[in-house]
Chain A
Amino acid sequence: GAVVSQHPSWVICKSGTSVKIECRSLDFQATTMFWYRQFPKQSLMLMATSNEGSKATYEQGVEKDKFLINHASLTLSTLTVTSAHPEDSSFYICSAQSPPGTGGVDTQYFGPGTRLTVL
């Protein structure tokens, strides 16, 4: 149980285009999902907290107009990188917070990540 998927697993795009990354909780409903960014050899950096049915909460320094987050349902959150540039190239990881009774409200289950390369 508590499986989180991401699609696509990797994507290459041209500079100036937009890319959408999907995060799905496969066997549980997640009212809260998180989006992280990870640079090589570094820890994860929280970008934003995505709440179903409301606006995402962005961390300081993260451009909300560049990284659009939509949490349209209890099992799906999307991250859209708009007008991507080479400096946006990174490994993006989402997580979904488990509901009570399935592992505790503190436990986050992570997706496998999406490798974005912007040419």
Chain B
Amino acid sequence: AQSVTQLDSHVSVSEGTPVLLRCNYSSSYSPSLFWYVQHPNKGLQLLLKYTSAATLVKGINGFEAEFKKSETSFHLTKPSAHMSDAAEYFCLISSGSARQLTFGSGTQLTVLP
């Protein structure tokens, strides 16, 4: 069994300040972990992924995430938020022989001017 928990349904930050979106996971196997972003009425865009290589993963648009096995976490960060970062963010896990994706519940990021 596998699961992901996004700890915050909403996060609000001011433009230019750091962003932290939290994700914890549970898996009986070595997981692959992903962060996707979804803008309104759009599909999901891959930001970054972890697949058992480097634990610090750099993605697009200045985002990065660190895989911490001891804490079962894969939090998404960005040093300085931009207005265009306002969107819904999903943490996903894939593990086991089936490699099926399990979605987190999503975190809505609001960026204030």
Q: Which residues of A contact B (CB under 8 A)?
A: 4, 6, 34, 42-44, 46, 49, 91, 93, 95, 104-113, 115
Contact = CB atoms under 8 A, between A and B. Distances in A.
A109 B49 contact: no
22 contacts: A4-B43, A6-B43, A43-B90, A43-B103, A43-B104, A44-B44, A91-B41, A95-B44, A104-B49, A105-B99, A106-B34, A106-B94, A107-B34, A109-B46, A110-B36, A110-B43, A110-B44, A110-B45, A113-B41, A113-B42, A113-B43, A115-B41
A46 B100 CA distance: 10
Q: Is the interface of B mostly helix, strand, loop or mixed?
A: strand
Contacts of B34: 106-107
Interface of B: 32, 34, 36, 41-46, 49, 51, 90, 94, 99-101, 103-106
Contacts of A111: 43
Most A CB contacts (10 A, CB to CB) among B45, B46, B49, B104 go to B46
B94 to A, nearest CB: 5
B99 A112 contact: no
A99 to B, nearest CB: 14
A51 to B, nearest CB: 13
A46 B101 contact: yes
Contacts of B45: 110
B42 A108 contact: no
A94 to B, nearest CB: 8
Nearest to A45: B103
Contacts of A106: 32, 34, 49, 51, 94, 99
A112 B101 CA distance: 18
